[in-house]
């Protein structure tokens, strides 16, 4: 599904990613944790094709294609979805309008016919109830004046409507209260399937309690410095990131494979 090899990238003038290796197979959920400023959002941005993040080395392939060659919209149409850490407010653009345009672009790319207004609303209603989303949000401008939690819920609602093959969730838990977290995590879990992979960026074990990952990676100073199973998240919660400074950077692939065996055993 996703193969990242020795990925290096700059944000602005600063070198942020210093050689990331990560393999995500279909159906897997990977959690990425790490201190503030370690490069988690930069990695997510590089994968989604954000302007201003310049890949300076390495490679990333998605479903066998060179991901880095594609425009952001082509990545989205191929099935990559980024739930933003800071969803952008876009006054004047209607939320439902955007969603319908997005869905139809994705469907067109998959060779499916456009949805008519009725079918679209049926799908939207289903997904809204899955995420217990307030109807009113649908007809407001995108994220405009949404509360922090509403923005995050809206991101996952979009995910649920667009049904991507790879979802990257950048700190979806921040801003959600405990009930909202449960609901949103429930929504994410409902979207889990053998064909769909997820990369979940978070600081807290709290989220991983609900969205249980197959793997946990720690990103520090632009590298994955440790990888493990879901229990690694608990360890981090207890000890913080400081103890990792001593550990040498290790490529995630090798450890990922062995851990996968242990975690599914």
Partner 1 sequence: MPQIAIGADSYAAQFATLKGTAPAAGPLGSLRDDAFRCFDRLGFPTTRLEEWRFTNIAPIVDTPFQAAGAAAGSGREVVDALRPPRSGGPELVFVNGRFAPELSDASGLPPGVRVRSLAATADAEAGGLDALAPYLGRLARFERHAFTALNTAFLADGAVIEVDGGVLVDRPIHLLFASSSDAAPVLSQPRVLVVAGASSELRVVESHAGAGDVPYLSNAVTEVSVAENAVVDHYTVVREAPAAFHVGSLAVRIGRAGNFSSHAITAGGAIVRHEAGVVLGGEGGECTLNGLYLANGRQLVDNQTTIDHAMPHCDSHELYKGILDGRSRAVFNGKIIVRLDAQKTDAKQSNKALLLSEDAQITTKPQLEIFADDVKCTHGATVGQLDADAMFYLRSRALSEAQARQLLIHAFAADLLGHIKVEAIRRQLDALLLERLPMNGNG
Ligand X SMILES: Nc1ncnc2c1ncn2[C@@H]1O[C@H](COP(=O)(O)OP(=O)(O)OP(=O)(O)O)[C@@H](O)[C@H]1O
> Which residues of the shown chain bind ligand X in the complex (CB under 6 A)?
11-12, 14, 16, 34, 36-42, 52, 85
DSSP code string of 185-197:
HHHHHHH-BTTBE
Q: Which residues, 70 to 129, sit near partner 1 by CB under 8 A?
A: 71-73, 75-77, 81-82, 84, 87-88, 90-93, 98-99, 101-102, 105-106, 109
> Measured from the CB of residue 46, what is the shortest distance to Mg ion in angstroms?
12
Among residues 86, 82, 207, 83, which one has the least CA distance to residue 146? 86
Q: Which of 31, 23, 17, 22 is nearest to 204 (CA)?
A: 31
Assign 229 to helix, strand or coil: coil
Closest CA to 166 of 90, 100, 67, 239: 67
Among 158, 172, 202, 205, interactor with partner 1 by CB under 8 A? 158
42 interacts with, out of Mg ion, partner 1, ligand X, none, CB within 5 to 8 A per kind = ligand X
Q: Which does 39 bind (CB under 5 to 8 A by kind): Mg ion, ligand X, partner 1, none?
A: ligand X
What is the SS3 assignment for 172?
coil
Instruction: Return the one option of partner 1, Mg ion, ligand X, none that residue 16 interacts with (CB less than 5 to 8 A, by type).
Output: ligand X
- CA nearest neighbour of 212 among 245, 232, 189, 195: 189
Question: Is 9 one of the binding residues for partner 1 (CB under 8 A)?
Answer: no
Going by the DSSP 8-state scheme, the letter that residue 80 receives in this structure is E
41 contributes a contact to Mg ion by CB under 5 A: yes
Residues 198 and 112 sit within 8 Å (Cβ to Cβ): no
Q: Answer whether 47's CB lies under 8 Å from 134's CB.
A: no
Nearer residue to partner 1 within complex by CB, 102 or 244: 102
The entry of partner 1, Mg ion, ligand X, none near residue 38 (CB within 5 to 8 angstroms by kind) is ligand X
- Binding residues vs partner 1 (CB under 8 A): 48-52, 71-73, 75-77, 81-82, 84, 87-88, 90-93, 98-99, 101-102, 105-106, 109, 141-142, 158, 162
């Amino acid at each position: 599904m996703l193969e990242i090899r020795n990925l290096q990238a700059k944000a602005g003038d600063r070198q942020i990613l210093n050689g990331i290796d990560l393999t995500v197979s279909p159906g897997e959920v990977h959690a990425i944790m790490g201190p503030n400023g370690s490069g988690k959002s930069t990695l997510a941005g590089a994968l989604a094709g954000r302007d201003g993040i310049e890949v300076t080395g390495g490679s990333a392939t998605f479903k066998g294609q060179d991901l880095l060659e594609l425009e952001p919209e082509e990545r989205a149409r191929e099935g990559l979805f980024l739930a933003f850490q800071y969803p952008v407010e876009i006054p004047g653009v209607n939320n439902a309008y955007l969603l319908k345009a997005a869905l139809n672009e994705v469907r067109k790319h998959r060779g499916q016919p456009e949805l008519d207004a009725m079918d679209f609303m049926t799908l939207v209603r289903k997904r809204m109830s899955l995420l217990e989303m307030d109807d009113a949000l649908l007809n407001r401008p995108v994220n405009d004046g949404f509360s922090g939690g509403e923005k995050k819920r809206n991101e996952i609602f979009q995910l649920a409507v667009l049904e991507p093959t790879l979802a990257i969730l950048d700190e979806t838990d921040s801003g959600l209260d405990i009930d909202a977290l449960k609901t949103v995590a429930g929504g994410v879990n409902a979207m889990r399937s053998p064909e769909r992979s997820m990369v979940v960026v978070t600081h807290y074990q709290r989220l991983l309690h609900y969205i249980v990952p197959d793997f946990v990676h720690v990103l520090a100073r632009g590298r994955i410095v440790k990888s493990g199973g879901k229990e690694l998240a608990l360890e981090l919660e207890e000890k913080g990131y400081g103890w990792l400074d001593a550990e040498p950077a290790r490529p995630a692939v090798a450890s990922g494979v062995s851990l996968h065996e242990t975690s599914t055993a």
